[in-house]
Amino acid sequence: MRVKGRTFPGLYLPGIQDCTYEVLGHQGLPTARAASYDDLVSGRYHYQRVTVEGIVRTVSPNEETASIARVALGTRIIEVQVEEAPGERSLVDSRVRISGLAAGHINDRRQLLDPYLRCSGWAEFEILTAAPDHDGVPVVSTQELLTFDVEGQGGHRVRVAGTVLATF
């Protein structure tokens, strides 16, 4: 691509205004770079194609033809904006690899506050480990929730069984 224009500081990265461009060819999307949450929050890959791995926490509609997926990258949660409505298959509690554009919310001081990913569709989600069905989710007691485990927290959902004694 050939681009002509004037550079300006931009909100976070420099931009080009009053530009003209000419497409010289198209070789497809660039290869996504593996990134961690720390890479995203640092702005290192801002507006570059990245890939992350994590566990899907929630998927919800966002407007008529878009979705928001919240994905745990270790102990941190990142929002993934998907330009398609939620799919038929539930991804909640699946371990996935996502390729998308690293972006983020920028404040008036040109600081990156909250990173997120943008994806054109659900095809950019690769299921590494599918979520277990309802019967496969382990049952734990309330005493076992959020307690120390030498093997660490698995990051997946659990079920709690018991009797409700009161509601407020």
Which band of pLDDT confidence, cut at 50, 70 and 90, is reported for residue 80? very high
pLDDT in tens, 104-157: 998 888 888 899 999 999 999 999 999 888 787 888 877 777 777 666 666 777
Instruction: Report the pLDDT value the prediction gives residue 59, as an integer from 0 to 100.
Output: 94
The residue that leads in pLDDT, 164 or 148, is 164
Contact by Cβ (8 Å): 51, 32 = yes
Which has the closest alpha carbon to 70: 89, 48, 52, 49? 52
Look at residue 153 in the predicted model and tell me its pLDDT: 60
> Above 90 in pLDDT, residue 1?
no
Lowest mean pLDDT among 38-42, 83-87, 92-96, 141-145: 141-145
Per-residue pLDDT of 13-64, as tens digits, reads 788 888 999 998 888 888 999 999 999 999 999 999 999 999 999 999 998 8
Who contacts 6 (Cβ-Cβ below 8 Å, separation ≥6)?
16, 17, 18, 19
Query: Both tokens of residue 68?
Result: 């928001």
- The pair phi, psi for residue 11, each rounded to 5°, is -75, -40
What is the distance, to the nearest Å, from the Cα of residue 24 to the centroid of all Cα atoms in its chain? 32
| Cβ-defined contacts of 30-34 (< 8 Å, 24+) | 32/99, 32/100
Q: Residue 116 is encoded by which pair of tokens?
A: 């997120």
